[in-house]
A and B are shown apart, each in its own frame.
Chain A
Amino acid sequence: MRDVDDGARVILLPGAALADSDDATLARALIARDPRAPRVLWQRFAPMVFRMLRRTLGADHDLDDLAQEVFLCVFEKVRALREPKALKAFVISVTSLTMRHELRRRWVRRWVRLSGKTDAAELEIVTPDTDAREALARFYKILDRVNATDRAAFVLRFMEGLELTEVAAALKLSLATTKRRLARVWARVLLLVERDPVLVHYGPKLVPEKPPESGS
């Protein structure tokens, strides 16, 4: 207070220093139940968690609840984290588990016909391009036909761009199994895209020269 002008107000914002810290420091703060830590955890990882959930499930309203589940689970289980610097991987792992659980829950709900809507119908895709919107709706309808673990692997590897080892760690699978699953899910989705009369003609103008590495 001595260094500021008379009357100036100095208030320490919560987590001002913690917000700039690395993941390991934040993990240790969470383990120590530092009251500033939950806010920093949210601010640092909420964009990533929401993005993963949206890319997997679509942008429907349940994402708020799922994100809460993810963060509360991270908060509760962070003490089990052996390597504090692996906090981001831990958040990804918890998000993946939540995604898979939600996909299975939706599958059961569809199966017992509690909901008349398909997942693709619940999808709210934010893009002004009508063709792209329809293509994405059809694409997500195809993803609905893939099992939860394969779908999560697909999103983590091809949409999130995680390394194979990171995908394996997030899904708690061996590297070999992860590679097999990725190859299988890519082939299956590819087959379904080929069979879709709209998608098979979907604009080739922006495509890269090579398909992404599936690791197989």
Chain B
Amino acid sequence: MSGVKDSHRTLTELVGAARDAFGDDLTAREQAGLVRFEQAVARRTLRGTARAGAWALGFGVVAAGAAAALIMFQRADTTLTFSVVNGSVSAGGYVRAKASGGTELQFSDGSSLALDPGTSTRVTDIDSHGSRVLLESGRAHVRVTHRKAAKWVVDAGPYSVHVVGTEFDVRWSGAEEVLDVQMHRGAVIVRGPLASGGLTMEAGQHLIANVKEGEIFLDASPAEVASLLRPRAESPEPTFVDPGTPAVAPVAPAGASHAMRARVGAGRPTAAAATDASWSKLMAQGDFQSVLADAEQRGLAHTLETASVADLTVLADAARYVRRGDVARRTYLAARERFPRSGTAREAAFFLGGLAEDESGVAAAKTALEWYERYMGDSPRGTYAAQALGRQMILVHKLRGADAARPIASAYLSRFPSGPYVDSARKLLHE
């Protein structure tokens, strides 16, 4: 009898040991699975759109009738939906335009954002009245369908462009801190540095705001300005690809609101520019291995030296997904060296931390911690801030003990009350 009781106890303890060994903490690689999941969701959404298109073709007349009926009876408070045409969703969930062009965000109310090659955006909020879109880098042609109580906002760097029903081009370069808005129809209100009270723009007007220089230009003769800026639009390389080559550098004599000159980027084609479309396509198909194989066939060292930042992003993602940490690490380091001010370079610090954590040993943990600290220093509000600070807390706990980790745990709970490391932070504070 006592033997059976002991066996029960042993089994109970084994169950408890298994429970303790496998807790809630996620590794950096597991956390990064979010990006892969979001990409998969985006691919399925696109496939769904394509299938819907085929059905619509087959049942055109019926669909048109149904659509008309739907429009008539549609409730005004239906949340808008959107689909991405000819684009890809990259690290961090950003919609990234293909190098070949033709990328467009199409909203269910007929509004759209046509993105220039290389532009990256993100839909940060959407409801029945409109949407809020973050233009991280690049240029977008925005067309908002006029509706009663429509509410649309395009965030571009520190600026917000508030829209009712209109058509305009907006471009933001984070490297240069330059906002460029060209109105075509309707009106918008631009708010931000130098225009905190809101600056109203009407059809035909052109605004360039240079945050670094503290200058803002609102030009009444858009044709003149457009002619000066036209070569930039034809540049084969989007501005954010090479921050070292600014596409627009407004030089304005003090007080001369109409005077404006544009320095056009050299537009150097990159060796890997042609790969962007095909790699993005391969990524969209989930064929990560082929991206890697292609890079290795071209010569990995050559690719890392010549590829655009967009290509490096794709290559690094692909390498991570097929667990080629060596290639991912080299690619991220190349991105940080060649494009130090790009979003990819900043995010690379987070992923380099994760790659270091994949290796065992104290030295690897220290390296990982340094990368996470660097990421938090560069991007305290970045996409992966909640994960990076959480990993920082875990590693400090591991390397320096609970006392050293507790301030980070407090900061974590204060900054990310619903973050993925909340339980660990609470446990640490109650230890």
Contact = CB atoms under 8 A, between A and B. Distances in A.
A139 B19 CA distance: 12
A63 interface: yes
B129 to A, nearest CB: 14
Contact of B17 (A6, A48, A64, A136): A136
Contact of A47 (B17, B26, B191): B26
A202 B14 contact: yes
A102 to B, nearest CB: 16
A136 B13 CA distance: 10
Contacts of B41: 38, 72, 75
Contacts of B40: 68, 72
Nearest to B95: A35
Contact of B18 (A8, A20, A55, A64): A55
Interface in B96-128: 122-126
Interface string B1-36: 001001111111111111111111110011101101
A11 B155 contact: yes
Interface in A16-57: 19-20, 32-36, 38-39, 42-43, 46-48, 50-51, 54-55
Contacts of B377: none
B23 A202 contact: no
Interface string A59-102: 10101100110011001100000000000000000000000000
A130 interface: no
B33 A64 contact: yes
Interface in A164-215: 186, 189-190, 193-194, 199-200, 202-204, 206-208, 211-212
Contacts of A208: 9, 12
Interface majority SS (helix, strand, loop, mixed), chain A: helix
A42 B34 contact: yes
A13 B124 contact: yes
Contacts of B192: 7
B401 to A, nearest CB: 15
A46 B13 contact: no
A203 B10 CA distance: 7
B51 interface: no
A202 B21 contact: no
A76 B47 CA distance: 13
B193 interface: yes
Contacts of A59: 22
A211 B26 contact: no
A212 B418 CA distance: 32
A9 interface: yes
Contact of B30 (A36, A50, A140, A212): A50
A216 interface: no
Given A11-B134, A11-B155, A204-B9, A55 B19 contact: yes
B10 A200 contact: yes
Nearest to A71: B37
Given A55-B22, A136-B21, A20 B15 contact: no
Contact of A35 (B82, B134, B155): B82
A157 B79 CA distance: 40
A55 B158 CA distance: 46
B10 A204 contact: yes
A13 to B, nearest CB: 7
B193 A6 contact: yes
A199 B34 contact: no
A36 B81 CA distance: 11
B24 A139 contact: no
B12 A32 contact: no
Interface residue tally on B, bucketed by range? 35 or more
A63 B81 CA distance: 32
Most A CB contacts (10 A, CB to CB) among B21, B23, B31, B81 go to B21
A43 B420 contact: yes
B342 interface: no
A146 interface: no
A14 B122 contact: yes
Contact of A38 (B20, B22, B38, B423): B38
Interface string B35-71: 0111011001100000000000000000000000000
A114 interface: no
B87 interface: no
Interface in B180-215: 191-193, 196
Nearest to B24: A47
B280 interface: no
A68 B286 CA distance: 13
A19 B79 contact: no
B354 interface: no
B323 interface: yes
A125 to B, nearest CB: 5
B160 interface: yes
B124 A11 contact: yes
Given A126-B21, A203-B13, 10 more contacts: A11-B155, A12-B124, A35-B123, A38-B41, A42-B37, A46-B33, A55-B18, A190-B8, A194-B3, A206-B16
- When A and B form their complex, which 7 residue pairs have the shortest distance between CB atoms, in order from nearest? A207-B9, A6-B196, A54-B22, A211-B8, A47-B24, A7-B193, A139-B14
24 contacts: A1-B191, A6-B196, A12-B124, A36-B126, A42-B33, A46-B30, A47-B25, A51-B24, A55-B22, A61-B323, A64-B29, A67-B33, A71-B37, A72-B44, A135-B17, A158-B15, A186-B11, A193-B14, A200-B6, A202-B13, A206-B16, A208-B9, A211-B8, A212-B12
